[in-house]
Amino acid sequence: MHSYRTCVKMLQMHKEGDTLAYTKETLENFYRTMVRIRLFEEKVQECFLGGELPGFVHLYIGEEAIAAGFLTELAKDDYITSTHRGHGHCIGKGAQIKPMMAEIFGKATGYCKGKGGSMHIADFSVGMLGANGVVGGGINLAVGAGLAAKMKKSGQIAATFFGDGGANRGTVHEGMNMAAIWKLPVIFVCEYNQYASTTPASYGTSVPDVSIRAQGYAMPSAIVNGNDVFAVNEAAKIAIEYVRSGQGPYMLEFKTYRVKGHFVGDPEVYRSKDEVKDHFENDDPIKNFAEVVLAKKWLTQKEMDIIHAEVEQEVAIAVEAARKDPYPAESELFNDYYVEGGVK
């Protein structure tokens, strides 16, 4: 089992001058994914506050390095399950932002034909088995996917995301126990963002590091700086190699911070504006990335500006398309409740 100190030493090499093997394509992909998530979420917030979106939205701003650094290492046919705060996971796994935005707008062109909304986006074509409005609701779905992969000997793995609040749900422990017993290829990814809805983790969780619970299932684990895309990526490689080799499940705990409220419109009376400002100004994952790559001359500011402009255009196109797309017809209301013809 990797200790905290071992992981810190192993995952921070790039800050100490040791060269890690990152191609320019990989670096650009990290940045593009993080910026795509950030700009997508900012536009979702803008549209929601403008009264254009139904339901609630939960933003992933400030946690982009986890989706970018971890999901880039998964194969297209590997599985993931997500949370109510799942837009970043969808984008990181390869879902397209036009049908994502359409789904959030409740339009027929969305991934779930406008019936799922923000908290239930799924794209099976890239292994995204769905976001989930139930806290901890995706855990056992991922365990089931891992069991199926093992039985079929497909070589696929599954990863399931949850927060420090979700870590206290029974489904997490049930899933971890079953995965450990059967040595299933599942990675349990805790995004420790310090708040479970309105409850601070320091109040709602009995231990400062939830990954210590993995020891109860003889499961290896690591604690990682979730706002450092390089650290996230190196941890992902280790966990994925372990799980894909058939040794059983693995747990990763990414320390991060939920910059936005639990939902857009949350009055956030449970924390101060200064606390949020301090975290975001001093530990923004996108700024952290830029500081490293510019200092090491791995990318130029011009190259990053071009990527930013391209993504900004992508998001603008997605929003305009969603605004124009039709809502589902009333005749579609009771369709798609069941799989017709069986599962292939």
Instruction: Give this prediction's pTM.
Output: 0.93
Superfamily of domain 4-16+24-321 in CATH is Thiamin diphosphate (ThDP)-binding fold, Pyr/PP domains (3.40.50.970)
Domain boundaries, the chain: 4-16+24-321
Q: What is the pLDDT of residues 69-119, one digit of tens each?
A: 999 999 999 999 999 999 999 999 999 999 999 999 999 999 999 999 999
DSSP 128: B
pLDDT greater than 90 at residue 324? yes
Q: Could you tell me the two tokens for 84?
A: 């109510």
- Mean pLDDT estimate for the chain: 93
Contacts of 276 (CB under 8 A, 6+ apart): 259, 268
242: phi then psi, degrees, rounded to nearest 5? -65, -50
**Which 3 state secondary structure label does DSSP give 187?**
strand
Q: Could you tell me the two tokens for 102?
A: 């359409």
Percent above pLDDT 70 for the chain: 93
Average pLDDT over residues 37-49: 98
Q: What is the pLDDT of residues 140-164, one digit of tens each?
A: 999 999 999 999 999 999 999 999 9
DSSP 289: H
User: Is the CA virtual torsion 254, 257, 261, 267 positive or negative?
Assistant: positive
Q: Residue count of the chain, please give it.
A: 344
Q: Could you tell me the two tokens for 184?
A: 């299933």
296: phi then psi, degrees, rounded to nearest 5? -90, 0
Which residues on neighbouring strands pair with residue 188, listed in sequence order? 160, 251
Q: Which pLDDT score, from 0 to 100, does residue 295 have?
A: 95
Cβ-count burial 101-130 (b if 16+ within 10 Å, e if not): bbbbbbbebbbbbbbbbbbbbbbeebbbbb
Average pLDDT over residues 204-214: 94
pLDDT category, 132, cuts 50, 70, 90? very high
Rg (CA), the chain: 19
| Beta carbons of 92 and 72 less than 8 angstroms apart | yes
Average pLDDT over residues 21-37: 95
Helix (H) or strand (E) holding 307: helix 301-324
Q: Which of 200, 184, 62, 48 has the alpha carbon at shortest distance from 118?
A: 48
Q: Which pLDDT score, from 0 to 100, does residue 342 have?
A: 56
Q: Which pLDDT score, from 0 to 100, does residue 10 have?
A: 45
pLDDT category, 341, cuts 50, 70, 90? low
267: phi then psi, degrees, rounded to nearest 5? -70, -15
Q: What is the pLDDT of residues 267-311, one digit of tens each?
A: 999 999 999 999 999 999 999 999 999 999 999 999 999 999 999
Helix (H) or strand (E) holding 295: helix 285-295
- Cα of first residue to Cα of last residue in the chain, in angstroms, is 38
pLDDT greater than 90 at residue 338? no
pLDDT greater than 50 at residue 33? yes
Q: Which pLDDT score, from 0 to 100, does residue 344 have?
A: 54
Q: Where are the beta strands (DSSP E) in the chain?
A: 79-81, 158-163, 186-192, 195-196, 199-200, 221-225, 250-255
312: phi then psi, degrees, rounded to nearest 5? -55, -40
pLDDT category, 203, cuts 50, 70, 90? very high
Q: Could you tell me the two tokens for 45?
A: 């917030």
